[in-house]
Structure 1
Amino acid sequence: MRKIIMFLMLSTLLTAQKTQIIELRNSIKDKKHLAKSLTLLDKRENKNIGIISHRKEPYEVKFEKDDLEELFSNWFIEDNKERGSVEYFLILEDLKVNDIPTERSVMGHLDMQMATFLKRNNKYYFLKKFKISKDYTQKDHAYITRSIAAKISAELSNIVKDSYTISALNIPISETDLGDYEKVISEQLPVFSSESFTDGVYTDYRSFAEQKPDKELMVRKNKEGVIKGVKRVDDYDNLNKAIFAVIDNGIAYKKTPTSLIEIEKDSEGYFITASEEELFPQPNTSVMVAGAAGGLIGGLIAAVIDITASKIRKQNAKYYRVGIDALTGEYILPENFRKFKY
């Protein structure tokens, strides 16, 4: 009798558990009408997304249907009545939510990773990768479960729409290699496969990875040969252009908001050794003040590109190995680098 009562109680709890649905309502319309299809490749080992709480009530986070391939295909078809010939693929690598207990309550946590490819001549070509690890606190999000579900839906939409406009990386990989695409692709990128760097100025990670410096820009040095900035090859300073990195005399430097920091390499890949303040300076730092004093663009860029600043590093600062993602160039922050990562 006792077993029957326990079974009924458990059944009631399972039935009563609430569900938070991830609704695929955001637009993924291809305005150029080049896309033919969108196919989801679910590579997650565990298909369950997880449970998070709202006001101490557990909510299971789920998609509208269990058949995700059909769900995503229908989502694409509904938004794209006029279609072209390009086949797009969205690889879902990780999607997890969970509760994190705090002193006073609980906050929600989201981990998400995905990538997009296009298919041509039975080969796959990388487009974009997205990864997020984010905490949701009660004070910032009145309804955590809805906020997380909306974030998941929005990021799925964003990566698909962005992929329509991105040039594919010209490294074909087979379907069998999709499960290990990061390693397969990175090994073929010139920045990893070449024995030396190509000197020059790189405005984004893609150009750095392919070792194709900007032909209109060059490193600017003082009389002592110290890097002081970048300039156009016609000698006019180009202070309003984004810079990812510069390479001088075969040495690569990552541009950060406060300095240039040498890019190093180990068995795990490329990285820089940096403090939190160097990567995420507070608005009242001297660099920001210098920027305001010299004009929003001119002063700030002049300050951040000065390589001598990287030599003046605070004695009491804590430095970390900060990885550089092989496919995106984004920082791979170590644990506890920042309390909240967005």
Structure 2
Amino acid sequence: MPSQLNVVKLLFVYLLISIQHFAAKAQKIEQFSLIRPEYKVANSLYKTINFIDSRNDTSTLGIVQTGAFNRQALVVAKDGLGNQIKNVLADLTDSTAANGELLLQLRLYNLAEVTSSFSEKGYFKLYAHLFAKVDNGYSIINSVDTLVVMSAMDVTNALLKAGSNVLTDFIANNLTNKPQSKASFPYSYIVNIDRAEKKQLRLYTADTFTDGVYYRYRSFKDQIPDGEVVVEGDSISDGNIKVYDAKRKLKNLNPANAYAVVFKGKPYITNTFGYHPVYRRDDDVFFNGRISIYRNASAGTVIAMSALFGIAGGLIASSGTNDLYDGEVKIDYLTGEFIVPKQ
């Protein structure tokens, strides 16, 4: 019969193993804070700032890899990004600032890291608009749409710093700028800007779709094919679609290497699992099919990176737990991201 001391030891070992097991399964979090600027902008036209987070996934800012084993961590804004932005503006301005009001609308903010054999590569994508309050509406001052790519043995800190500095500099560089025009938009329009933007995309408005192969979402949403398709038969199926290479020779299309194809006016999303018919409902575009999602990261972040950086972007966060999803998938009109229902 085991002694009381041995029982205690066994219980302790069991508890330790359990803690390690659950810790290994838990998603690591990297707290993110904007770096407080150490410089001032004299004669700023603005003293206050409001914030609209229009990203599809507002819960995280992306993915980095931390620790000796490059474990993935979700980047989460400490105390909320809106509060941090207000603090940044307060640090940037001094007693010479006028009483103007700003509105920052964040459309994309994605941090991502991918590891190769001897180095790490970091990606940061920022898309945002800055408005000034004018009477009862808001007028655009400036927009930023930028992609930062960097490589290093350990890129995490440099990537987080870039994610902070680019946003802070965007605000700082516009503090003495007036709106670009007299056009003014109500707050409700800015919050629902996606409705107006979708009306400018042929994917969302065209009565017919243009036959061809589309290697990027950008081409697909504008309905400008990247190349021709030759189909053996009257319908789309695995192995019967050919495209021309650079030497104008026909070759079989690997569906994993394209974003979409259109045949006889019917659009299909393509991926490793084949071809999935696309359809519109209300103001959105959907398809029914199978996709891979990553449970250790925001699926939205991972797939958005694939759309932003091209086919190879799928490598980003690929070390996460890969699950399959079958069912209806919505296409994000801005990035081409595949959005699955909340699991």
Tell me the TM-score normalized by structure 1.
Answer: 0.47
Which structure is higher in strand share?
A: 2
